[in-house]
Amino acid sequence: MLNSGDFGRVQPWWSSRVHPLAHLPSRLAETIVHFLLPRPDNRESEGDVDWRPWWRGFRQRWPMPVVIVAYPTKDELLRHDPAALRHAASLAGPGVRILDAARDPRWRADLYRDDRRPTPEGNAVLAAIIADSAPER
């Protein structure tokens, strides 16, 4: 699932120190690293990131079919702004299918708990949209 914020600028929290990919030996160590040590300086990562080379490499290593769900922010949904779909379409290619969640009449603005995250009901609706779009086996 991709939204329009997943493309372009690297976020300041983009760091394994801030969002670790593995647990440290203890909760105390995790707390110290996450809350007490200075945040990493990501200035070298600021600016737009060209993610296309990564995507091409991923598709070479993973030739299986891929479904990308273009998921709008609440504001994009209310403005009928297809930003998420526009970005996701740039990933299209052989074996890649784009699913536009905003086009499904079940997806509504009241299914967001904030600008990006769905409510529990919203998660169920998104799951149904994805499941219903799956090809028959």
What would the pLDDT profile of 78-93 be if each residue is shown by its tens digit? 998 888 788 788 888 8
Residues 85 and 100 sit within 8 Å (Cβ to Cβ): yes
| Residue 112 or 36, more confident | 112
Tokens 């919203």 — which residue?
Answer: 122
CB 71 within 8 A of CB 101: yes
pLDDT number for residue 20: 59
| pTM flag (> 0.75) | no
Single-letter residue type at 39: R
- H helical segments located in 1-137: 27-31, 52-61, 74-79, 83-89, 120-133
Q: Structurally, how many domains does the chain consist of?
A: 1
pLDDT in tens, 13-65: 455 555 555 666 777 777 776 667 766 555 444 455 677 787 888 888 988 88
Query: Kind and range of the H or E element at 130?
Result: helix 120-133
72 or 136: whose pLDDT is higher?
72
> Which range marks the domain in which residue 118 is found?
4-133
The pLDDT assigned to 46 comes to 47
**Residue 109: pLDDT band with limits 50, 70, 90:** very high
